[in-house]
Homo-oligomer: A and B are copies of this chain.
Amino acid sequence: MQITRRYKLSALAFSLTLIVGCSATHHKSDLLVIEKQGSFAVGGSVIQMPGTFDPIKQGAYNPAGPDSTGQTLHGDHLTAFYQIPPKANHLPLVFWHGHGESLRTWQTTPDGREGFQNIFLREGYATYLVDQPRRGLSGRSTKSVTINAAPDEQLWFGTFRLGVWPNYYPNVQFSKDPEALNQFYRQMTPNTGPYDAALNIDGVSKLFDKIGDGILVTHSQSGGPGWKTAMNDSHVKAIVAFEPGGDFVFPEGQGPATATMKGRSFPLPKVPMVEFMKLTKIPIVIYYGDNFLDAVLSKSTTTPATLEETSLISCSFLLGH
């Protein structure tokens, strides 16, 4: 079992390396060929207000807000934009963005290069780019929210490990062109309702129910919900996790009871062993980037948590495998 598992992991890692390696040799002028592309919503729920809607009395647009009597609101769904090449590889890739991000994450990079959307399409993969419920194109929420225009980008500069503001890490691959940082910040987009991991897991599960078997690609905040989606839905046949954070998965009775990050202690949620074991049956590859040590030495508190997260997730996986 352990051998099979390692073989699977290595095979996937190798195949991914190959993919990225190959794509680097492509010329920019190569044509993208697409058999089908489009977008749709899955999941979500409907609020139904009591009473009967009167199209005459309530039909006028009112800038102060609608009279909701008898009206509905469809919200909390997930939106996907898909592109399917001819003779697509067996499994499509589902790309799930992280905190404060949207499907823009996987399109053009901040410095204008092609993103994973194009790279994997060229390699014959169907791609599904997701905006999770209450984010980006999936903006309608069944719960109200106030979005504060509070400047926070120097925090994200550190969190995404570009450097310790105002300095980039010397070896960081992120472009030093100021326009790249401008584009990077403008890729961010806020929650349009309260963040709800269960809702997001439900949305991505419903997407897999619709499209069938596929590979889930997570980033940062979607890492945790990603594990749970795979336990939820047997259509998730593999996971590629970029810097997964939060919501670490431990089987009941194993692993630490609490985690401490940045001085804050919190209980670690446990899942039944039978659920946890599902993660041991699919190939999983995890990527963490550079500059962890630099972040620690800088004493910036933005990043060291990632180290703790990494050891937590390592711990979680050691238990599983």
> SS class of chain A's interface: helix, strand, loop or mixed?
loop
Q: Which of A90-137 contact B (CB under 8 A)?
A: 102-104, 107-108, 112, 114-115, 117-118, 131, 135-137
Q: Are B140 and A139 in contact (CB under 8 A)?
A: no
Residues in B neighbouring A145, C-beta threshold 8 A: 146-147
* Residue A168, interface by CB 8 Å: no
Which residues of B lie under 8 Å from residue A114 when comparing CB positions?
38
How long is the Cα–Cα vector from A114 to B66 in the complex, in angstroms? 32
- Given A39-B104, A147-B193; A72-B140 close (CB under 8 Å): no
Report B-chain residues with C-beta under 8 Å of the C-beta of A38: 107-108, 112, 114-115, 118
Q: Looking across the interface, which residue of chain B has its beta carbon closest to that of A28?
A: B36
Are A74 and B33 within 8 A (Cβ)? no
Chain A residues bordering chain B, tally (CB within 8 A):
93
Inter-subunit contact B149/A142 (CB<8 Å): yes
Q: Determine whether the beta carbon of A59 is less than 8 Å from that of B155.
A: yes
Across-interface contacts of A182 in B (CB, < 8 A): 41, 74
Q: Which of B142, B143, B153, B300 contacts A72 (CB 8 A)?
A: B153
B154-A55 in contact (CB<8A): yes
Partner of A152, one of B66, B86, B150: B66
Which residues of chain A from 286 to 321 have any CB-CB distance to chain B below 8 Å in the complex? 298-303, 305
- How many whole Å from A296's CB to the nearest CB in chain B? 12
